[in-house]
């Protein structure tokens, strides 16, 4: 009895994974850096928390707006390309069939087979065939602005909450080492998980994210300490 082989691909995860990972990573790095910078400037514990919460709200809204505008632009480009392709199919159906045949020949099919495939695919769904094989637009990878915006905002807020919870749990004297240490651990875990889900090496993903997070926090804390001494 033959068993059904189900291949698991990761392309269907690319859109939401990208938005979620970027949002959470930015939430941790930016909020932890903000908290450390304000704490290094010798602010009170209350002021540090207010700055961190304000950073969480502003960052989440910024991520949502930026992701929405970016993905809307992609969606507009896809729509314009499909409209143009639809018009070309209406004006020159045979020419578009020859174009699709050439694409399949370029991918290694025998010309006669490529012509047959193009004919059958266009008979079934001409626009879908050209969208997929000529333009590279598929249902799985198509732009979804609202989904991307909400995913980015929510993941940023979750990421930003991590250093804020650490800051709320300790006194101001312990805030800098606790927030920086826990944030780096969070970043390493996030980087490793993102790499795992995407099919890459966990160690490399964790180190990459942790390095840039540590650099951002160190620079911001240094600026805070400098201005806290001068002002």
Number of structural domains in the chain: 1
| Listed residue (164, 170, 151, 148) closest to 54, CA to CA | 164
Q: Is 48 contained in some domain? A: yes
Range with the lowest mean pLDDT among 1-10, 81-90, 144-153, 221-230? 1-10
pLDDT digits (tens, 9 = 90+) for 17-37: 666 777 888 899 999 999 999
Question: 170 in a domain, yes or no?
Answer: yes
Q: What is the pLDDT of residues 118-138, one digit of tens each?
A: 888 788 878 777 777 777 766
Q: What is the pLDDT of residues 69-124, one digit of tens each?
A: 888 887 778 788 778 878 877 887 788 888 778 888 888 888 888 888 888 878 88
- The 10 Å Cβ neighbour count of residue 90 is 10
- Is residue 226 domain-resident? no
Domain-embedded: residue 25: yes
Whether the CA torsion 51, 177, 226, 42 is positive or negative: it is: positive
Q: Give the residue carrying structure tokens 């632009």.
A: 73
| Domain span including residue 20 | 14-220
The C-alpha atoms of residue 29 and residue 160 are separated, in whole angstroms, by 8
Residue 2 forms part of a structural domain = no
Tell me if 141 is assigned to some domain.
yes
């Amino acid at each position: 009895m033959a068993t059904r082989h189900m291949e698991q691909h990761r392309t269907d995860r690319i859109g939401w994974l990208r938005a979620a990972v970027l949002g959470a990573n930015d939430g941790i790095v930016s909020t932890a850096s903000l908290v450390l910078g304000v704490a290094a400037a010798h602010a009170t514990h209350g002021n540090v928390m207010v700055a961190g919460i304000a950073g969480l709200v502003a960052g989440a809204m910024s991520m949502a707006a930026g992701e929405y505008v970016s993905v809307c632009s992609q969606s507009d480009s896809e729509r314009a390309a499909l409209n143009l392709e639809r018009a070309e199919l209406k004006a020159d159906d045979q020419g578009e069939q020859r174009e699709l045949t050439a694409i399949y020949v370029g991918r290694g099919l025998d010309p006669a087979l490529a012509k047959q495939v193009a004919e059958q695919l266009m008979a079934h769904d001409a626009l879908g065939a050209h969208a997929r094989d000529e333009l590279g637009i598929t249902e799985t990878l198509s732009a979804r602005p609202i989904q991307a915006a909400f995913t980015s905002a929510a993941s940023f807020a979750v990421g930003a909450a991590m250093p804020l919870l650490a800051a709320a749990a300790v006194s101001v004297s312990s805030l800098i080492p606790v927030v920086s240490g826990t944030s780096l651990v969070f970043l390493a875990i996030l980087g490793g998980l993102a790499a795992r889900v995407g099919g890459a090496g966990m160690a490399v993903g964790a180190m990459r994210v942790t390095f840039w997070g540590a650099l951002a926090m160190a620079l911001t804390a240094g600026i805070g300490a400098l201005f806290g001494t001068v002002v």
